Structure 1
Amino acid sequence: MKNIYVILALLCLVACNSAEKKNNTEDDSLLVTQKVKDRIDSTLKSHVDSGYVAGISALIFEKDKEVYFNAFGFADREAKKAMDRNTIVRIYSMTKPVTGTALMQLYEQGAFQLDDPLSKYLPEFTDMKVCTGVDKAGKLKLEPAKRGITIRDITRHTAGFASQQDSLLGKMVQEADVMNKENTLDAMTKKLAKLPLAFHPGEQWAYGISVDVQARLVEKLSGKPFDQYVRENILDPLKMTRTRYVPTNKDKEALAAMYRLVAKDTLQRIPDEEANAFNGKEWPLKPGGYGLTSSVDDYMRFAQMLVHEGSFDGTTILKPETVKLMATNHLADSITKRMWLPSKGQVGFGIDFAVRLREPASEKENKGAIGEFFWDGAASTLFWVDPVNELTAVLFVQVLPFDNTLHKKFRDAVYAK
């Protein structure tokens, strides 16, 4: 009888060891191990401790499981309000992928084709002129665009729209005040269409107002105000209840302060009236390129929809083939002038996402998986979707100017061997 108990004990020990080994194997199969979590903690905390940022948080999901969340420092340093999971931040250009998603829902419905002329739907963009320089008298030299702006152009930033920083057209752009908060999207596009283009459509990559034009196109094609369309077709279905242009009264209390890095370790708080100039009240302008505020969990729901090829938590936002189209490089090799896009690493550009094409060329470049697609925001926020590892990451911070070094260190912490 005693031998039976010994045998049973041995079998139990073997089974327990086997189960423990299996669990360890499963953990080791994840990219974000305990070692990686510790490394991320150290990286984020060091930025706060050095005075580089006031507060920072990060959330990572891998294979449908939350594998990392932590927050360090203050959402409001002066009020000693901690950065935490409840914090709301201004996501600036991380609004753009939401706009692209809205537009591509209409694409799925057959409302347009990517190579359709923009003027087919927004006739103000008919017969655009391109600035080629100035004559001896200092007058702008204009010529007809070689071809019309296409919808593909406004999804990949090759339309040719000038910015206030343009050496020839900057003053004209500034005087047109196209993005005045009192403008509707309709008024915005009509003002924009009166300005010359900085280059012929399709010949350069130049980041700018294109996604705001996408927002107007969503309005025109759907027959609904842009913000209403986004709420009804993306935010509400994904239960992104804390993502909006103007935070609710409750969420205004959770809105992080904005800071400017004025020296290596010196942060200056941007006055609240300046930081909240857009998000403090409802304006006629509902931009597609910036303007939303969100929580880390809300934006993760958007990222999770993308890594799941358009569906999440019982709702379908996009078809898998549409997500793949958006996450595919649409820039031909002939488009060699690409503004600051090369600073993102070995990337091309899809539909409102940068798309990673190759491994980093050097240790100075951001790490990431080939096939990853991502974007960031002016206040140094970041998110990415890594289909290879089934991983999504969201990094929230509120510091100007935009800091790619912070992103590199965060990515290094996640992907370093």
Structure 2
Amino acid sequence: MQDHADAAASGFCPERLERIDGWMRRLVETGRLAGLSVTVARRGRTAFSRAHGLADLARAKPFTPETVTRIYSMTKPLTSVAVMQLYEEGRFQLDDPIARFLPDFAEMRVATGGNRAKIETEPARRAITWRDLLTHTAGLTYGFMEATLVDALYRLKGADYLRPDATLAEVTRTVASLPLLAQPGTAWNYSVATDVLGRLVEAVSGMDFADYLRERVIRPLGMVDTDFHVRPENLDRFAACYVYDAERRLKLYDDSAETAFARPPAIASGGGGLVSTARDYQRFCRFILNGGVLDGVRLLGRKTVALMLANHLRGDLAAMGTPRFAETSYDGIGFGLGFSVMLDPARAQIIGTPGEVAWGGLASTAFWIDPAEDLSVVLLTQLIPSSALPIRKELRVMTYAALVD
């Protein structure tokens, strides 16, 4: 078989890599997933590319490698690339205060206690910087965490649900008006930081964020099916999204045709707004593995990419307070400029390589990039939340267990 030959030429044991296919089939046959695709690439060659199940149960639409999916937070690394392009142009330094471009963030306060009637605050001890946003250490949050008084304020004020009646600038001003969860730089907390970065791209470049990302990142990378909405000609390839009901049966969450993703959004979310395909996202992974260039088109310098893939925390996520949510585990995992970074597979209790970067999305999508192994893996499916199944860890084990050279 040709795919077995490609697997062997890529340094995999074909029989071991084939275990992924059986695993995918079981996930579909047992009703845990409607459908999924997995693409494994190494040394510039596709070693494995399969899809099983349905993209839409009601319409019996097959899930294929060309299925368009909601990638949610896998949008964040592309936004980070946009930010670092402007960094390379000398528009700012990573330790610059973001208030230089967004003055609403000039006088931030930090929550220290209180109750719903009155939150007690103190002044921020230093300004929020670009690196704070890129590493989720700015003290911002997400309202969906539902764990703190600040989270509740985000929900009340609409600070992280990109409202159809507001602009990105207006939502960002709302975020700036609310107290921080922690002093800048002191704790890792998953947040709307990347949406704020999208607004900063606008402020620095003078372009609408969605236009910038399309013109400066998505199109140059040849990501032809990636956008902030599903174009009309692609709707027949768009997947439905599911959740589990009380009996853990698949229940429709968002239809593939009657969906808000069929229309351009009022606000382009740099933190979670894109749709994409396995083919497109593998191109992004190859661009990172190549050190900022793809098919002769260079978007970033190799030293910039190396800086993005480095850990910028003082240790792992676990050392940065007590994270309440992440698309990764905490022990043994650091964070770079837009990606999680594997520091210690033993501490993370999962097979892997120090220096690999990764992230995932709300609908159980995931990717990882391993520069040492010249390896990238993209997993696409549509099940919310991403914590519903341990499929990311299972796929990681089977992929690395198949490496033989």
Q: Same fold (TM over 0.5)?
A: yes
Matches within 5 A, 1:11-410: 30-134=10-114, 139-164=118-143, 165-178=146-159, 179-262=162-245, 266-272=249-255, 276-277=259-260, 279-333=261-315, 335-341=320-326, 343=329, 346-361=332-347, 365-403=349-387, 405-410=390-395
> What letter corresponds to residue 142 of structure 1 in structure 2?
T
> Cα distance, 1:115 vs. partner?
0.5
SS at 2:83's partner residue?
helix
SS at 1:193's partner residue?
helix
Deviations 1:248-284 (A, max 9, x none): 111111100111123575111224289833x121232
Q: Is the 8 A contact 1:91 1:290 kept in 2?
A: yes
Give the number of the structure whose alpha-carbon radius of gyration is greater.
1
Deviations 1:229-263 (A, max 9, x none): 11111111111111001111111111001111235
SS at 1:169's partner residue?
helix
Q: Is the 8 A contact 2:34 2:57 kept in 1?
A: yes
Q: Is the 8 A contact 2:75 2:272 kept in 1?
A: yes
Against the structure 1 CA distance between its residues 197 and 249, is the aligned structure 2 distance closer, same or farther, given a 3 Å change threshold? same
Q: Is the 8 A contact 1:374 1:384 kept in 2?
A: yes
User: C-alpha distance in 1, partners of 2:52/2:256?
Assistant: 25
> What letter corresponds to residue 56 of structure 1 in structure 2?
L
Q: Is the 8 A contact 2:6 2:46 kept in 1?
A: no
User: C-alpha distance in 1, partners of 2:350/2:258?
Assistant: 29
Task: Give me the CA root mean square deviation.
Answer: 2.2
> What letter corresponds to residue 234 of structure 2 in structure 1?
D
> What letter corresponds to residue 55 of structure 1 in structure 2?
G
Q: Is the 8 A contact 1:92 1:290 kept in 2?
A: yes
Q: How many aligned positions are there?
A: 390
Q: Is the 8 A contact 1:349 1:355 kept in 2?
A: yes
User: C-alpha distance in 1, partners of 2:265/2:165?
Assistant: 6
Q: Is the 8 A contact 1:162 1:170 kept in 2?
A: yes
> Cα distance, 1:399 vs. partner?
0.6
- The equivalent residue for 2:399 is 414
TM-score (norm 1): 0.89
TM-score (norm 2): 0.91
> What letter corresponds to residue 307 of structure 1 in structure 2?
L
> What letter corresponds to residue 412 of structure 1 in structure 2?
V
Q: Which 5+ residue runs of structure 1 have no aligned equivalent? A: 1-23
User: C-alpha distance in 1, partners of 2:241/2:22?
Assistant: 23
Q: Percent identity between the aligned chains?
A: 36
User: What stretches of structure 1 move > 4 A for 4+ residues in a row?
Assistant: 24-29
Q: Is the 8 A contact 1:205 1:339 kept in 2?
A: no
Q: Point out the more displaced range, 260-269 or 353-362.
A: 260-269
Q: Which 5+ residue runs of structure 2 have no aligned equivalent? A: none
